[in-house]
Amino acid sequence: MKTKKKALGRGLDAILQSPETDITSKDISGNYVVGAIANIAVEKIVSNPFQPRDQFDDELLKELAASIEKQGIIQPITVRKLGYDKYQLISGERRLRASKVAGISEVPCYIRVANDEQMLEMALVENIHRKDLNAIEIAISYQRLIEECELTHEKLSERISKNRSTITNYLRLLKLPAEIQLALRDDRISMGHARALINVTDPEIQLGILKKIIARDLSVRQVEELVRNFQAQPPVTMKDPVELPEFFNSTAVELRDKLGTNVNIRRNNNGKGQIVISFESDQDFSRILALLD
């Protein structure tokens, strides 16, 4: 019996009790811990420096804490062993935080052996599959997987079981002006709105449409139509185009804010120019005329 216990000791217990700190050592093989679950004291788990999210809703944490108090943690968190009695969180930040709120002293954990890159990839991939993520958080996670884990779009598609076109659509959101990304992150616009805005090449026009979306609560279809109207407008050509003095630029901004529509001012070397005021419909034209009176 004693011999049998000693042999079994080379499994999970041996890894948990080992004073070794080199997690890549052959003596602490990942083969011992695949699929294994152990209860670990929460104070022995340090935070994950690669955690993709840094904001958590307090009310949702309290709700999860109440659920954990009644039912326990249904899905174990994932950690890696740093050394003797010390672990680092790979994924499950909300569950760990909620457990602390609930006053739980130990949490069930999957124990993995991973280097930093593998840990980052696992954390990001799990993060992507959460239902409460907004489109910008997903896009940032995709970007980090590509850049920091050196994944191609094809490899990323395989990792997360998403079409490459879906990945591309999310990544394109990160090319939008910061104001639009924030509006999307804060749920003031939807991903449908943002995808329509991507088709506009002028950032100033994008921001002008953003203001209209928020002020008038425009639907995605209305925004798509608005974008088509902008794209259908013929470009205004001027001889000898020059960079506008700051006064003209600031005036254009003031007019846009006052009229609630896109305003372009163009001027050539001779001082001649045009003021182009865009409108969406006959009603919008009448509205702008009233403001100009």
pLDDT at 199 over 50: yes
pLDDT digits (tens, 9 = 90+) for 254-284: 888 788 888 888 777 777 788 888 887 777 7
According to DSSP, residue 235 is labeled: P
Domain boundaries, the chain: 2-114, 122-232, 246-292
pLDDT beyond 50 at 16: no
Q: Give the model's pLDDT for residue 103.
A: 92
Count Cβ atoms below 10 Å from residue 145 Cβ, excluding itself: 23
pLDDT of residue 229: 82
State the pLDDT at residue 222: 92
For residues 3 and 42, what is the distance between their CA atoms, to the nearest angstrom? 33
Q: How confident is the model at residue 50 (pLDDT cuts 50, 70, 90)?
A: low
Establish whether 93 is a catalytic residue. yes
CA 206, distance to chain mean position in Å, is: 20
Look at residue 235 in the predicted model and tell me its pLDDT: 54
CATH-assigned architecture of domain 2-114: Alpha-Beta Complex (3.90)
Pick the CATH number of 122-232 from 1.10.10.2830, 3.80.30.10, 1.10.30.50, 3.40.50.300: 1.10.10.2830
pLDDT tens digits for 205-240?
A: 899 999 999 999 999 999 998 888 877 666 554 444
The residue from 93, 121, 126, 224 that is catalytic is 93
Q: Are 171 and 150 in contact (CB under 8 A)?
A: no
Closest C-alpha to 209, from 278, 139, 151 = 278
Question: How many residues are given for the chain?
Answer: 293
Which residue in 221, 228, 226, 233 sits closest to 211, CA to CA?
Answer: 226
Long-range contacts of the stretch 69-73 (C-beta < 8 A, 24+): 69/102, 69/103, 69/104, 72/108, 73/99, 73/104, 73/107, 73/108
CB 127 within 8 A of CB 133: yes
Range in 113-122, 154-163, 164-173, 271-280 with the lowest mean pLDDT:
113-122
